[in-house]
Structure 1
Amino acid sequence: MARPPKLDLPLREGVAASALACPPGPWPTVLDFLAERLPLVARDDWAARLQRGDVLDDTGAPLTPDAPYRAQRRLYYWRWLAAEPEVPGQARVLHLDEHLLVADKPHFLPVTPTGRYVQQTLLTRLRRETGLADLSPVHRLDRETAGLTLFSVQPATRDAYQRLFRDRDVEKVYEAIAPWRDEVAARLPLSYDSRLEEHPVDFMQMRTVAGEPNARTRIALIERLAADRARYELRPHSGVKHQLRAQLCALGLPIEGDRIYPVLQPVEDEVDFSRPLQLLAREIAFTDPISGQSRRFVTSLELAGSIAPG
């Protein structure tokens, strides 16, 4: 039997409904299925959500805690956390048209819901502000990185913008504050090529290995800030995970505030928002795939160049 078409449900507090397919299985009730399939949410929490009518079937009808499990359908629910770290800073919309939204992301704010963040994400904040339920990121920035982020407004043209990044038809410019080293400064500007792969033990890190380069960045000096610090311009020509952070670290210039390079720091129970990673997505330029117009966007944010290394 074919499943009914996916429901178009409204946002709740900026969060879109998540759909969960129901395979054949032994679960007596929907509650039993949810508690086993999504165990990061406690069974009592699922029961409370069902009691509130926050879990729907594929007709849009709310389900009760004792609702029998039925395979070959979808369930719908909205991600919600009882408590989230309050991330400072504002998500500022710089551009909005019928196809594209460009926003500035503050440091520490994830782009999309993940782990212990749902409301405190750029996507949720923008959906709440604009009411655009179909808003979806075209590319991602690390949670620790600030600056320009692009979002697709409608599904019909989403792939055209995503293809720009897949095909590397986007010019990206970053800024970073990192140590000053005479031996590196004497070589600037330079094009730095390396091969980066995920670390076999510290999965959060990328490491430099021998082999054909898969990461290239143009590095230039913007200004020397003090005897031991400087501001650098970074122009990546590829999009490997943690490329800028790993390559600068390999040059002996780990970015200030980096908790992953050169040494992976333990996860903090409480995030220290006073020491952000000094990395900023400053500019982005491309030919719009829909209008053919040349576009260039520049962030309204700045790095705190006065922060002293710790």
Structure 2
Amino acid sequence: MPDAPLPAREGISPRRVILRGVVPADRAYWAGEAGDAPFARGTLLPPGAVLDRPQPAWFHPEVPAEEPIPFDYSVVFADADLIVVDKPGFLPTTSNGRLVRETVQTRLRVEFGEDEIVPLHRLDRLTSGLVVCSRRAATRGAYQRLFQERAVDKLYRARVVGTVGVSEEWEAYDVTMLKTPGVRQVSVGEGGRPTLTWLRRIGDREVEARPVTGHTHQIRALLNHLGMPVEGDDTYPLDRGLRLHDYSTPLHLRAVAVSFADPHSRRRRAFHVADPGWG
């Protein structure tokens, strides 16, 4: 999508629309790039102006106040290009449609005063741990390609319900997963996309996971499929419904390490967070 001609507001990016006929008077609109359009990029469009051709425009969405989520990230690392945070459970990485302000992305943008901050990957809302964020569009593409090309090593730790059914040695689990629109649970072994996850047992009720692919709910769905769902999971094996502000049952799944070869400095980047201490 083309760059917006106006900054974010309160950490929330403007949105793009194509106007036709007449400029609406419902909100302020700024002209986007439009070739031979009569309005220069970034011009505030006058309400009621007649448009003789489609006009790309940008506007600030009206985002209502949200009930504060009483948990916050901690910054693990920051330089000119990246910010790495330790995300708590219950706080979304980016907007999930219901929450926009109460997300890692929006909070970071407000804290640092930088509109370009964007997470390079996501953790499920209930999952805690490391999230790597880009803070500059100029260097973002190379980091995004690392995640797209599966060149990032990620390590998760989970506490499960029941008996751990995997070995103490790393084993690969190659299964297909299908995410059906409107259904929270991911189906395993019923078509869809191939996924690859390495698992090993590290305790009576704990496992480590190294996902190679990045499918929705990949670790949670796989562990449930293997008969050892993650403790505190609100979706597997039973979908208990989405309760955004119920903090009574944390998910015992944590992203504890991320590492990759930096595409700009060529140095190895490795980030870690503390053991979850589940006992």
2:77 pairs, out of 66, 88, 95, with 95
3-state SS of 2:122 partner: coil
Structure 1's unaligned 5+ residue stretches are 32-46, 225-229
- 2:74 and 2:181 mapped to 1: Cα distance? 37
| Aligned counterpart for 1:189 among listed residues 169, 175, 197 | 169
Checking the alignment, whether the CA contact within 8 Å between 2:90 and 2:247 is kept in structure 1 is yes
Instruction: Tell me whether 1:233 sits opposite 2:233 in the alignment.
Output: no
Among 177, 180, 198, the alignment partner of 1:218 is 198
* Cα distance in 1 between the residues matched to 2:72 and 2:3: 33
Aligned to 1:257, the other structure's residue is in SS state coil
Distance 1:55 1:118, change over 3 A: farther
Q: 1:289 to 1:257 in 2, by over 3 A?
A: same
1:263 aligns with 2:238: yes
Q: Would the alpha carbon gap of residues 80 and 188 (structure 1) be closer, same or farther in structure 2, given more than 3 Å must change?
A: farther
Residue 119 of structure 2 aligns with which residue? Answer: 137
What is the aligned counterpart of 2:133 among 151, 162, 165?
A: 151
Q: Which residue of 2 aligns with 1:21?
A: 18
| Alpha-carbon distance change, 243 to 114 in structure 1, aligned in 2, over 3 angstroms | closer
Q: Offset of 1:210 from its aligned partner? A: 6.2
- Asked if 2 retains the 8 angstrom alpha-carbon contact of 1:84 and 1:116, the reply is no
- C-alpha offsets along residues 20-61 of structure 1, whole Å, 9 cap, x if unaligned? 233xx5x65525xxxxxxxxxxxxxxx4xx2xxx54444545
**Equivalence for 1:305:** 278
| Corresponding letter in the other structure for 1:259 | D
The Cα shift of 1:174 comes to 0.4
- What residue is the counterpart of 2:37 in the other structure? none
Deviations 1:255-277 (A, max 9, x none): 01111111222233x52112121
Matches within 5 A, 1:268-307: 268=243, 271-300=245-274, 303=276, 305=278
Secondary structure of the corresponding residue to residue 89 of structure 1: coil
Task: Label 1:7 to 1:260 Cα distance change in 2 as closer, same or farther (>3 A).
Answer: closer
> Percent of aligned positions with the same letter in both sequences?
33
Higher alpha-carbon deviation: 78-87 or 134-143: 78-87
The 1-side partners of 2:7 and 2:175 are apart by 44
User: What do you get for the CA RMSD once the two structures are aligned?
Assistant: 2.7
Determine whether 1:10 maps to 2:7.
Answer: yes
Q: Does the aligned pair in 2 maintain the 1:79–1:118 contact within 8 Å?
A: no
**Aligned runs of 1:55-204 on 2, under 5 Å?**
55-58=29-32, 59-60=41-42, 62=44, 67-68=48-49, 70=51, 71-181=53-163, 184=165, 187-198=167-178, 200=180, 203-204=183-184
Amino acid at match of 1:205: Q
Q: Deviations over 1:133-190 (max 9, x none)?
A: 11122111111111111112222221211111122111110011112416x15x3334
**TM-score normalised by the chain length of structure 2:** 0.84
Residue matched to 2:229? 254
**Conserved in 1, the CA contact under 8 Å of 2:168 and 2:202?**
no
SS in 2 for 1:214: strand
Residue number among 20, 30, 33 corresponding to 2:24 in the alignment: 30
Tell me the number of residue pairs that the alignment of Structure 1 and Structure 2 aligns: 269
Aligned to 2:35: none
The one-letter amino acid of 2:265's match is: S
Question: 1:80 offset after TM fit, Å?
Answer: 3.7
Consecutive unaligned residues of structure 2, counting only runs of 5 or more, are 33-40
Tell me how far apart the structure 1 counterparts of residues 189 and 201 of structure 2 sit (CA, whole Å). 26
Look up the SS of the partner of 1:124 in the other structure.
helix
C-alpha change, 1:20 and 1:151, in structure 2 (3 Å) is: same
TM-score w.r.t. the length of structure 1 is 0.77
| Structure whose residues are more often helix by fraction | 1
Alpha-carbon spacing, 1:62–1:200, altered in 2? closer, same or farther (3 Å)? closer
Partners of 1:194 and 1:213 within 8 A in 2 = no
